[in-house]
Structure 1
Amino acid sequence: MTVTVPGPTLGVVGGGQLGRMLAEAAAPLGVEVVVLDPTPECPASPVARDQIVGDFDDPDAFRELAARVDALTFEIELADAELLDDVAAAFDLSVNPAPETLSMIEDKLVQKRALDEAGVPVPPFRRVDDADDLRAALDEFGSVMLKARTGGYDGRGNVPVTDPDDAEEAMAAVGGPAMAETFVDFERELSVIAVQGEGEIRTFPAGENVHEEEILRETILPARTTDEVLSRAEGVARDVLDTLSGRGVFGIELFETADGSISVNEIAPRPHNSGHWTIEGARTSQFEQHVRAVLGWPLGSTRLRCPTVMANVLGTVDEPRPARLGNAEAVLGDEDASLHWYGKEEVRPLRKMGHLTVTGNGAGDDHVPRDLLAHARDVRDALTFE
């Protein structure tokens, strides 16, 4: 393989914060990025080479994108897999991860069935089309997490259900065909950012995720668990990659139970929020890895530089209003903290507006210092929306 710099132009379907950070990571490699997104002046537009304004299922916009780039990828599961396949064939382009992988992952029921059939450990689940199906799932599993089969993110589309009398209300909340998964009494949630390259696989160390109201708040590295569990999590993540096609970064969310067993919660066929720590905390960020992987370039090191905590900066307002972050000096004046602002024009309640990372000292430390998580939370809590 011969790699030249400046390199090719990469087309990205989706121009949100993930597209923005992909473009930031691509630039030092000499790779230009063109994004397709329906929102004019989307978050990625200030750092990408250009933006095509169009819906994620707009054939004309897809063809315009394909005509301007050398390879295609996506940063959102709303990308139309069939259109990606069609334009890739018409313009003789590679598209990674493969459209069939996107089709499998975007439907949570199809995803779980594929993993189960491959022998990857997953919580017991069943298809739910109506309230009667949900009541049957409650009879079988007891408490369940009801999940919309498509379109859910950041906890949206997920409804915990314990009482059969709530079945109709829960089905209305998810708004369509769903999947019921037995409620997992997990010790902690882990995530492994795994990278499928051209003939090589790399995995980042597993992070520990802290959620509140079904929204990721912090990711902690190293995860506060045993080496045996970490090894098991990596093994399961590699087994997951065997079920997927195409190159790129995959965010693999895992449950660790009290006995140390691991099962798969969900997969994202793209860089993932729980991998944002890699920008400061790893030798090569997940975003650079994704660019390298989809272009078929050699992958970088996934080594942990030092203990790291990533904290999401969420909208703390009561109603939408123009986005303006106040007291940013709380991060900028802290020598251990780094700020990433996503450039969204409007702040909304609990909307992801940015993130910060706080790094510790000593890459050889076995555990995250107890105060590193508290430090990250204190810095984040000092931020305001004006």
Structure 2
Amino acid sequence: MTTLQTPGPTLGVVGGGQLGRMLAEAAAPLGVEVIVLDPTPDCPAAPVARDQIVADFDDEAGVRELAARADVLTFEIELADQDTLERVSESSGTPVHPKPSTLETIHDKLVQKRELEQAGVPVPPFREVEDGDDVRAAIDDYGGPVMLKARTGGYDGRGNVPVESKADAEAALESVAGPAMVESFVDFEREISVIAAKGDGEIAVFPIGENVHEDEILRETIVPAGSSDAVRERAHDVAADVLEVMDGRGVYGIELFETTDGEVLLNEIAPRPHNSGHWTIEGARSSQFEQHVRAVLGWPLAATDLRSATVSVNLLGDVADPQEARLHGVDRILETPGAHLHWYGKRQTRPLRKMGHVTLSGRDGESTAELLETARELESAVTFTTDSDP
């Protein structure tokens, strides 16, 4: 039986970026307090969390302080160190969810793909590569182009490099700068994702979203996706199989390819709330962030039904060089019925840095096409460039 009191349970979060900020916003109505650990003083989560510990993600002393002040530990960034979390959890008795073992699997994309393939999860053809000859051999076997991926350190599209021809192999490996793998390039109909929560003996899956990427960065998510009922059902089945492999409670962002012949293949997994699930804040009966809080605490999960057709667009830095974060033209968003602005509180804008997002929820039977057109207009109406009128 879950009992509330004041003060309530405390959730310790490794990472204090926008995901930590939105976790703290979702935790507050549940009576849950959040403390974040992040190396950036006054990080984006700091204004809404109870407190911040300023320390690197792998700073063992900092993580021990976090564990001493929390009932449960979690993380909102893959840069969290699994070995540190494991040691601190064992010595302090403070549980970590998802489990550090899952983070270890996720950290290495090659290990991740091998484990999932062994579990029967459908994945594109892949292989380890060590040099240009390996990449060229993959192009011979898979056909070009192929996708070269950094095995470690990459997230949100970082470390993913398309290799168009054999002549590009060495340059691509140099840009990845570390251990790498190659995947066959998937001829997909659309990119889709499932936000799934794994609780204490239960799972809850949100409706699938259709994602639009540019330069390997997520730009838009449309819900419901334009997939057939059969593909949606298959995507949910694949997500359930993925959760069987993952160890520990929490929300997982599961990115998938829907191929031109209706197959569903796994792309990547994030063991945390995901950019493609931001739409759930306004578009679903519960948000991915509320679900993550509930899940890691071992509380019952909430309903995931779609409230209405919903579109989310990212607000990315449109500047040439880093500068003070100032978003111009916000009134256009604020004046639009059904539009919801989320500002992440980052102090500096950088090229293509995620600074916020806008969610547009359907009204009076609006279609996703209509919502997407309006959302794109709103995104184009704002800018971070300094020569604009405030």
> Which category of TM-score, normalised to the shorter sequence, fits these structures?
over 0.9
Partner residue, 1:300: 302
Looking at structure 1, the residues matched to 301 and 328 of structure 2 have their Cα atoms a distance apart, in angstroms, of 38
Whether the aligned pair in 2 keeps the contact of 1:130 and 1:177 (CA below 8 Å) is no
Partner residue, 2:19: 18
Q: CA deviation at 1:316?
A: 0.6
Whether the aligned pair in 2 keeps the contact of 1:224 and 1:368 (CA below 8 Å) is no
Partner residue, 1:195: 197
Structure 2: runs of 5 or more not aligned: none
Whether the aligned pair in 1 keeps the contact of 2:311 and 2:368 (CA below 8 Å) is no
Partner residue, 1:291: 293
Whether the aligned pair in 2 keeps the contact of 1:254 and 1:264 (CA below 8 Å) is yes
Partner residue, 1:119: 120
**Residues 238-280 of structure 1, C-alpha deviations (whole Å, 9 max, x = no match):** 0110111100000000000111100000000000000000000
Moved more, 255-264 or 125-134: 125-134
Q: CA deviation at 1:153?
A: 2.2
Number of corresponding residues: 383
Whether the aligned pair in 2 keeps the contact of 1:221 and 1:368 (CA below 8 Å) is no
Partner residue, 1:224: 226
**Residues 49-89 of structure 1, C-alpha deviations (whole Å, 9 max, x = no match):** 01101111111111111111111000001100011111111
Partner residue, 1:130: 131
Partner residue, 1:3: 3
Looking at structure 2, the residues matched to 132 and 37 of structure 1 have their Cα atoms a distance apart, in angstroms, of 40
> Match of 1:336, as an amino acid?
G
Q: CA deviation at 1:336?
A: 1.2
SS in 1 for 2:245: coil
Q: Percent identity?
A: 66
TM-score using structure 1 length: 0.97
**Residues 99-147 of structure 1, C-alpha deviations (whole Å, 9 max, x = no match):** 0000001110000001100010000000012222212211211221000
Q: CA deviation at 1:5?
A: 3.7
Whether the aligned pair in 2 keeps the contact of 1:315 and 1:353 (CA below 8 Å) is yes
> Match of 2:76, as an amino acid?
E
Moved more, 336-345 or 369-378: 369-378
Q: CA deviation at 1:376?
A: 0.4
Looking at structure 2, the residues matched to 155 and 104 of structure 1 have their Cα atoms a distance apart, in angstroms, of 18
> Match of 1:25, as an amino acid?
A
**Residues 5-36 of structure 1, C-alpha deviations (whole Å, 9 max, x = no match):** 44200000000000000000001111110000
The equivalences for 1:69-80 within 5 A come to 69-80=70-81
Partner residue, 1:42: 43
Whether the aligned pair in 2 keeps the contact of 1:97 and 1:246 (CA below 8 Å) is yes
Question: Could you say if the C-alpha distance between residues 57 and 236 of structure 1 is closer, same or farther in structure 2, counting changes exceeding 3 Å?
Answer: same
> Match of 2:339, as an amino acid?
A
TM-score using structure 2 length: 0.96
Partner residue, 1:374: 373
Looking at structure 2, the residues matched to 283 and 195 of structure 1 have their Cα atoms a distance apart, in angstroms, of 14
Looking at structure 2, the residues matched to 15 and 42 of structure 1 have their Cα atoms a distance apart, in angstroms, of 6
> Match of 1:81, as an amino acid?
Q
> Match of 2:267, as an amino acid?
N
**Residues 315-374 of structure 1, C-alpha deviations (whole Å, 9 max, x = no match):** 011111000111111111111100000000100111000000001036xx6x94421101
Looking at structure 1, the residues matched to 188 and 378 of structure 2 have their Cα atoms a distance apart, in angstroms, of 28
Runs of 4+ in structure 1 displaced over 6 angstroms?
none
Looking at structure 1, the residues matched to 20 and 156 of structure 2 have their Cα atoms a distance apart, in angstroms, of 17
Partner residue, 2:260: 258
The equivalences for 1:25-36 within 5 A come to 25-36=26-37
SS in 1 for 2:360: strand
